Every structure is written in C-alpha cells, then in structure tokens.
Amino acid sequence: MQDWPLLVHKIIDHAALYHGQREVVTRSAEGPIVRTDYAAIARRSRQMASALDRAGFGLGDRIATLGWNTARHMETWYGITGIGAIYHTLNPRLFPDQLAYIVNHAEDAALFFDITFAGLVEQIAPKIPSVRQYVALTDRAHLPAIHLPNLVAYEDFIAGGAPDFAWKEFDEQTGCGLCYTSGTTGNPKGVLYSHRSNVLHALIAGQGDALGVRNADTVLPVVPMFHANAWAMAFMAPFSGAKLVLPGPKLDGDSICELLTNEQVTMALGVPTVWLGLLQYLEKTGKTLPDLKRVLVGGSACPRSMIETLERKYGIEVTHAWGMTEMSPLGTLGILKAEFLQLPYEQRLDYKCKQGHPPFGVEMKITDDENRELPRDGKVFGRLKVRGPSVAKGYFRGEGADAFDSEGWFDTGDVATIDRHGYMTITDRAKDVIKSGGEWISSIEIENIAMGHPGIAEAAVIGIPHPKWDERPLLIAVRKAGAVVTREELLQFLAGKIAKWWMPDDVVFVEQIPHTGTGKVQKTALREQFGKHIARAAAE
C-alpha cells in the first residue's frame, strides 16, 4: 500500500477542501467575537508558513506560542508545522521564572503571544536570548506599547506571506509540537510530539467510543491549546468538519454559558474546575443548556456529584476521561460498555465515575514496585504503565529517563486499579498516596465522596505524619457559599461509605484550595501548610 506520511497540515488541507465554509468562532483577546472558517484558516496558515520561511525559520526550529484558544493560535500551529518547525505551547499560568526556564531549555527561536500576555512577555524577554522574533497575535491597531526587540503584529507578519505556499516535505517522524509538563519532581520536562503521533492520536481519540467528534457537532474546547494540545481538538474538529467555538481568554461560567448558548454548542471539553464554575453560574441564574448534549471531563478526577448534576438535572451526558501530557494526552474514557447500559442509573454511574478503558491504540497495565504485573481484579492498586503510538518514549533532551523501561512502558506516576472489564480507576498520584500502617489509602476516593456533600464545594485529602500509623488522612474542605457544615457532620457523611481506617483524623475548612497552573489541586502546598497539623482525634 501507499506510504502516505501522517503530517498534521494535511488535516487543514482536508478541512479546507471538504468543510471549507464550516465556521470557527473565537472570543478574541481583543474582546469581540470573531468568525472565520476552515478555508480561511488553511489559507492564512500557508501565509504564516511562508512568512516564517522568509524570516529564516525552518526544520526543527522551536517556535513558542503563549496564547488562548483562538483561530489565530490554530493558524500558527499549522503554519509552524507546515515548514517542519515545532510549535511549543507555553502555559501562561506558570511563574515567569518557570516560563523563562522552559523557553531557554527548548531554545525557542520566536515567540507568538496574545496581547493579554504582553506584560508577562516583556518581563521574561531579557531572560530568553534565543528568541529573535516576537509576534503579537493581533493587528497593528492593537499592538501593545511594550519594548521588545523585533516585535511585529501577527497580521503584518503574515500579510506578505504567500497564500499558495507549498508545505515543506519531510518525514512523518519529524518533531511537530512540544509541551512541558510540570511532572512530579524537579524541573518541567518537555514532551515532543511528532507529526505521526499527533495524527495517530487524533485518529485514536476520534473513535466513536472515545471523543468521537462528528461533522454535525459544534465543539467548544475549554481545555487550552497550551495544555496537552486541547485534547486534539485543533486537529479532530477540522478533520471532522465540526464547527469549532474557541473561548479565548474568558473561561468563567458566565462567558462559557454565553458561548454555549449563542453558538448552540453540542459538545464541550474541560477540567472539573471549569464545570464547577459553569454549574455554579447555572444554579445562580436558573439557566439551562438545551443544545449541549455532551461534556468531556478530565485532567483531574471528576466528582460523582458533578456527573450526576450535569446528567440528571441538565440532561447533559458526561464522559470522564483520563490522560496526560506524555500521552498526547488521551489515555482512557469512562464510556459505558454494552453490558452495562441496562443497569439502574446508580450502577451505571459507578462505571462512569471510573477513569475507564482505553481506546484501541493505548495499552495499559498495573505493576508492583518490582515491575511485576498485578491482577485486573478492581481491588489491587499498582503503578499504572502505558504504551502506544501516541505515548512518549522519553522526554525532550533525555531527561527523566527512569520513567521509561526497556519494553517501552511509560510509568505514569499514577496509582490505579483495573477491573476485570478493563475499567481503570485512579486512586492517587504515586506521590500523593497516603500510607497508613503499611496500607494505601486513596485520597481521590475520599475527596470524591466529600464533594458529594451538598454543602461542600471542593475537598482535598493529604497524609499527615502519625507516630504509630506513619501517615493519616486529613480532609481539607471548602464550604459552598452560605452553607453551614461542621467537622462532625462531614465525618458522619463519610461514615459507612469508606473503610473505617480510611476515615480522616480531622477536617479543616478553608476559604479556597490552591491549584496548579494546569488546574490540579496543589497538594505540595497543602502539605506544606498542614503538614504539622495535629488532628483533633490525636489531641483528644
């Protein structure tokens, strides 16, 4: 058969030819809603590629982007990859010093940024000498008044580019995208996606029982392009010809609700905190979302109560998914298998809450610390390992090599069970697992149950040192606005739902729980703050 290289810019060509007039709607960084289509994006991507080529950028160069989900950001990706350069997404939620570290580590040659981040870019510019071209993703009228060497507005940068520029030719294994993950320890590490892995990942994730985007869908990826490729939506929506709605800088419940309603979005994707914000907004306003059929939730464990509210109260089907930057990112989905469809709702919910089973193209297993595979019985916890054509085989520049073994398995750093039906359940990050009396306690499971209490908005469980048991769980919780919940009530709520020895030794109520740049609970900060907490149970 033919050797048809899997190159990502073929996706935008396909979209232009077969779905050219399909709309792409953006809430722009400048403010207004902007409408374009796949044909225009494809044309402007070629102009972008041509402009980069003329400016002397080429194969293997890392070109950084610091941008929201917008049509312009998509054009930069296709333009960059079309000359064999590598789009390097930067996460604006990181500290400026971390960003400078990442840009220097990648030796980025240019930086494209949204005007929202002008101040941040100005701040780090003196520390990132490899960047020789700055491009603000805007037109000349909105160019920020900042002092940067070689700063130009995006519209001016691409204006001279040829709309019929011929994509460069290269192998499908060529580097395509770069994304750093904060990882568990040490400095951030880079994951370098190839053209082949990105195309295969989009095809894998596009399966009917995975993200399964269809032409008739209108998709809103709230999950950012700077975090794990927006779960492939910049590739999957164009190749399906789905209408794409991009939220730009505004990710609050009000703004998301407005886009969902006005654009008649049928499918939306994001981390649990986004849906928490949206649900709070819906509760407050009494609004509903009749067009929205499906919500994909991942990036952190989705609380059972969230799935139930979205499904039962609002009639929106929830798919809970697990993945990570190193996996492009999709790993598993809590999609119901045929044999469970007739179960009563509560039992179906048990399966939907799990992180789920992998689509074809992702292999997984759990092992003990000696790398012996553990049984798939739904009870034994082990280190979760994965492999497949869209899983990293190493980090950029060879760091963190101990996470990869000689048989190609990548140790995810997650601890999980797998049941006999193949459903995987994450019980913890390996570093967050609570070891009590030599046994493991799942912090995620306790958090999930606590968040099911009607007065609790968010909960996190950490291990605190204990002289006899080594560690004991401490529950840290945020009350919903106006709710009155006591320590005793919350513990009573947990009783009977978890093993007795899993019961937290104490509960601390806080105003808010700290989150990382990618929206996960920052357990290191909680451990620092509450590591010396003396449980009331122990003090009594």
Would you call 181 a catalytic residue per the annotation? yes
What residues contact residue 364 under an 8 Å CB cut-off, 6+ apart?
331, 332, 358, 384, 385, 386, 418, 424
Nearer to ligand AMP, 123 or 182 (CB): 182
- State which of residues 142, 250, 376, 429 lies at the interface with ligand AMP (CB under 6 A): 429
How far, in Å, CA of 89 to CA of 227, rounded? Answer: 8
Phi, psi (deg, nearest 5) at residue 169: -105, 135
Contacts with ligand AMP in 503-522 (CB under 6 A)? 518
Nearest distance from C-beta of residue 519 to ligand AMP, angstroms: 8
Task: State the distance between the two ends of the chain, measured CA to CA, in whole angstroms.
Answer: 74
How far, in Å, CA of 267 to CA of 294, rounded? Answer: 5
Q: Taking CB under 6 A as the rule, does residue 210 contact ligand AMP?
A: no
Helical pair 38-54 and 71-81, crossing angle rounded to 10 deg: 50
What residues contact residue 305 under an 8 Å CB cut-off, 6+ apart?
451, 452
Phi, psi (deg, nearest 5) at residue 75: -60, -40
Cβ pair 411, 394 in contact under 8 A: no
Would you call 326 a catalytic residue per the annotation? yes
Would you call 409 a catalytic residue per the annotation? no
- State which of residues 47, 138, 181, 218 lies at the interface with ligand AMP (CB under 6 A): 181
Q: Taking CB under 6 A as the rule, does residue 414 contact ligand AMP?
A: yes
The 218-237 site mask, x for binding ligand AMP (CB under 6 A), equals ----------x---------
Contacts with ligand AMP in 149-178 (CB under 6 A)? none
Nearest distance from C-beta of residue 299 to ligand AMP, angstroms: 5
Identified catalytic residue from 172, 263, 326, 447: 326
Task: Write the DSSP string, 262-308.
Answer: HTT-SEEEE-HHHHHHHHHHHHHH----TT--EEEE-SSPPPHHHHH
How far, in Å, CA of 202 to CA of 301, rounded? Answer: 23
Q: Taking CB under 6 A as the rule, does residue 411 contact ligand AMP?
A: no
The 306-345 site mask, x for binding ligand AMP (CB under 6 A), equals --------------xxxxxx---x----------------
Nearest distance from C-beta of residue 431 to ligand AMP, angstroms: 10
Would you call 184 a catalytic residue per the annotation? no
What residues contact residue 188 under an 8 Å CB cut-off, 6+ apart?
94, 98, 101, 102, 105, 180, 181, 182
Query: What are 330's strand-pairing partners?
Result: 323
How far, in Å, CA of 248 to CA of 32, rounded? Answer: 10
Nearer to ligand AMP, 29 or 403 (CB): 403
- State which of residues 65, 355, 427, 448 lies at the interface with ligand AMP (CB under 6 A): 355
Which span sits near ligand AMP by CB under 6 A: 7-15, 143-151, 242-250, 407-415? 407-415
Q: Rounded to whole angstroms, what are the CA distances from 383 to 375, 405, 409, 520? A: 12, 13, 11, 20
The 270-309 site mask, x for binding ligand AMP (CB under 6 A), equals ----------------------------xxxx--------
Helical pair 443-450 and 487-494, crossing angle rounded to 10 deg: 110
Identified catalytic residue from 373, 431, 435, 439: 435
Nearest distance from C-beta of residue 426 to ligand AMP, angstroms: 4
Nearest distance from C-beta of residue 413 to ligand AMP, angstroms: 6
Nearer to ligand AMP, 51 or 433 (CB): 433
Identified catalytic residue from 365, 440, 469, 471: 440
- Residue numbers annotated as active site: 181, 326, 435, 440
- Binding residues for ligand AMP, rule: CB under 6 A, are 181, 228, 298-301, 320-325, 329, 355, 412-414, 426, 429, 518
